[in-house]
Amino acid sequence: MYKHLAFGLLMGLSGGAVAQQTAIDSSKYPRLKTFTAIQDQAEMMQQLGIKKLRPGPSGNEADPNHANYDESKAEPCPQLPDVLTTRNGKKVTMPDQWWKQRRPELIEDFEREMYGKLPANLPKVNWIVKVTDNEFVGRIPVIAKQLIGRVDNSAYPLINVNINMVLVVPQNVKGPVPVMMMLGFPTLPAPAQPSPADLEKINIAFKEMMIKSNPEMKVIFDRYPAYAPITRLPGANFFAPPPNGDSPPTEQLLAAGWGYCTIEPGSIQADNGAGLTRGIIGLVNKGQPRKPDDWGALRAWAWGASRALDYLETEPQVNAKQVGVEGVSRYGKAALVAMAFDQRFAMGLIGSSGKGGTTLQRRIFGEAVESLAGSGEYHWMAGNYLKYAAAEASSGPKTGCDLPIDSHELLALCAPRPTFVSYGIPEKGDAKWLDQMGSYKATIAAGPVFKLLGARDLGVSNDYNTEKMPDVLTGLTNGELAWRQHNGGHTDAPNFQYVIPWASKLFKYDRVAK
C-alpha cells in the first residue's frame, strides 16, 4: 500500500509540472509562458500567417456538418506520392538508394510538415529504479520494477519532467526475453504480500501510530481487539486456467515468455495545447512557445519511448534487440512515430491509430486534417501542420492533398521490421471516424518498400485503389507487414493472441522454461 502511495506522490511531480523548489532564483531564467490551448494555437497561426482555419467535421452523423462516410467522396486526390520515387523523380530500385537517399528525404518531410524536429539541445535522462519486487501475474512469477526517468533540467530548472515506467519480466523463463513496450498507464502487478508474522507487526505499529495521531482511536481499537486494519490481498491462484486469447495482453505476453513495460506518455508531455510550454517540449524551449517546425506531443511521446529503450538496453533480463512498441488510438499514432524514427525498435503493433497514424491524410472520411488541426488535437503535430487546414493564409489555402508525404510512407519508414496494423469494428466502438479503409490502403501502399528490403508485405497486390479490404477476422499475417481487423472495439487486445506468435516466429524466439 505504501509503495503505491509513494508512486502516486512521485507521479504528482511528473509530466512537466512547474518545479516547487523555492531555492531556484527564477529571475535568472526566461519567464515561463502560460497559455490556454486556444491562445497557443493562435500564437502559432500568427507565426504562420494563418488568419482562419477550416473547422473540423462533427463525429455525430445527425449534425449538419457531420463527417463524410460516403466512399465515393473520400478520394479527392486518389494518387498517393510514390514512396519509391525521389524528389528529383528518380526511381528507387536498390536498398542502398532507400537508406541513403529516399528514407532521409521522407524523414525530413515528416519532421518539417507533420511531427516536428527533435531539438539539438535534448537533455539526458537518468533512470532510477524505485521498487524491485518479486510478484505474480496470474500464476506466473515475475520481477517487477517501478522506474522514474528523471530528465536533466539544469538548463531550465523551472520545469521538472519525470518519466513513469513499469517493467515486468517472467522469472520462469530463460532470458534475456523479448519485451513489448506499451504506451499507457503504468501500474505494478499486485505487490508481494507480507507473511502473517510480518503483517501482525505492521498492524501493531499502524495502530500505535493511529492512536498517537488521534487518542480517540484507542477506544475504537479496544472495542474491536481482533480487528486488523491492514489485510492481505488475494494471492496468486495457482489453480486458475492458463492464459488464453481472452486473457489480458500482459498475461498472454508473460505466458509466451515475453516481458512487458508500460510508459506513461503524459509524464513526458501533457496531452493538451496548454501544456506545450511545459513538459519536455517546454523544458527544451525554456518555457516559451514553439516555432512552426518544433516537435509536437506525438514526437515527444516517441522520444520518451526511445529513452525507455535506452534503459532496456542496460537490463540483462531484456533482449534489447527484440523490443516492440505498442499503442492504441493517439498512443497508436505515437507508437508508429516511435517505430518510424527509431530503428532500434524491433517491431510495432499499431492499434486503431486513425489520422496522424496509419490512416491516409488525403482521404476525406471520418476524422479529417481539420480535426487534427483543431484546438483539441493540434498539439500532437508540428505547427506547420496547421497550414493544411488553412482557409485563409498568406501562403494560400491548403488541404491534405498538398502534403508532400502521407501515412503509407510513415509505415514504409518501419520497413523491414515487423509492423502489425490493428483495428476493431465500428459496431463495437472502433468508430468509422478512424477510417479503417484509409489505413488498409496505406498499409498496401507501404508494401513495395518492405519487398525492396527483402521483407514480405501483406501478400496482395500493391494496387491500393482496387484491393478489397479483408473481411473482419481475416488476418494478413504471413509477412513482416501485417493487417488484422478483429471484431472488438477501440482496443488491440483481441489481436494479441495473433501478434505474439507472429512476432515470436519472426524473431525466431522460443520460450525456454527454467
Calpha distance 476→421 (Å, rounded): 10
DSSP summary character for residue 86: -
In 3D space, the residue among 264, 362, 300 whose CA is nearest the CA of residue 115 turns out to be: 300
- Predicted local distance difference test score (pLDDT) of residue 235: 65
Classify domain 51-191+239-507 at the CATH class level.
Answer: alpha beta
Nearest to 403 by CA among 379, 387, 380: 387
Supply the DSSP string of 202-218, one letter for each residue. Answer: HHHHHHHHHHHH-THHH
Residue that the C-alpha cell 527454467 belongs to:
514
Q: What's the rounded Cα separation, in Å, for the pair 21 and 9? A: 16
Pairing of strands 140-151, 125-137: antiparallel
Cα–Cα distances in Å, from 117 out to 310, 373, 385, 400, 424?
20, 18, 13, 20, 32
Measured distance CA(444)–CA(454) in Å, rounded: 16
Task: Determine how many CB atoms are found less than 10 A away from the CB of residue 403.
Answer: 22
In the prediction, which pLDDT does 239 show? Answer: 64
Sign of CA dihedral 384, 386, 389, 394: negative
Cβ atoms of residues 434 and 367 within 8 Å: yes
| Contact by Cβ (8 Å): 341, 348 | no
Residue 41 Cα distances to 88, 272, 274, 293, 294, angstroms: 34, 11, 9, 14, 13
How far is the CA of 293 from the CAs of 51, 364, 378, in angstroms?
Answer: 19, 25, 13
pLDDT on residue 207: 82
pTM above 0.85, yes or no: yes
- Distance between start and end Cα atoms, the chain: 31
Check if the beta carbon of residue 401 is closer than 8 Å to that of residue 362. Answer: yes
Question: Cα torsion at 263, 434, 279, 314 (round to 10°)?
Answer: 30
Domain limits, the chain: 51-191+239-507
Q: What CA–CA distance (Å, rounded) separates 183 from 457?
A: 26
Task: Please tell me the distance from the alpha carbon of residue 45 to that of residue 52, in angstroms, as a whole number.
Answer: 8
State residue 11's pLDDT score: 38
Q: Which residue's C-alpha cell is 525498435?
A: 345
Q: Are 230 and 199 in contact (CB under 8 A)?
A: yes
Write the single-letter amino acid at 175.
G
Q: What is the pLDDT along the chain (514 residues), one digit of tens a residue?
A: 333 333 333 333 344 444 444 478 888 999 999 999 999 999 999 999 999 999 999 988 899 999 999 999 999 999 999 999 999 999 999 999 999 999 999 999 999 999 999 999 899 999 999 999 999 998 899 999 999 999 999 999 999 999 999 999 999 999 899 999 999 999 998 766 777 888 788 888 888 898 899 998 888 888 888 888 888 666 666 666 778 888 999 999 999 999 999 999 999 999 999 999 999 999 999 999 999 999 999 999 999 999 999 999 999 999 999 999 999 999 999 999 999 999 999 999 999 999 999 999 999 999 999 999 999 999 999 999 999 999 999 989 999 999 999 999 999 999 999 999 999 999 999 999 999 999 999 999 999 999 999 999 999 999 999 999 999 999 999 999 999 999 999 999 999 999 999 999 999 999 999 8
Q: Given the DSSP bridges, would you call strands 259-263 and 177-183 parallel, antiparallel or unpaired?
A: parallel
Which helix (H) or strand (E) segment is 260 a member of? Answer: strand 259-263
Instruction: Give the H or E element holding residue 420.
Output: strand 419-423
Secondary structure element (H or E) that encloses residue 199, with its range: helix 196-213
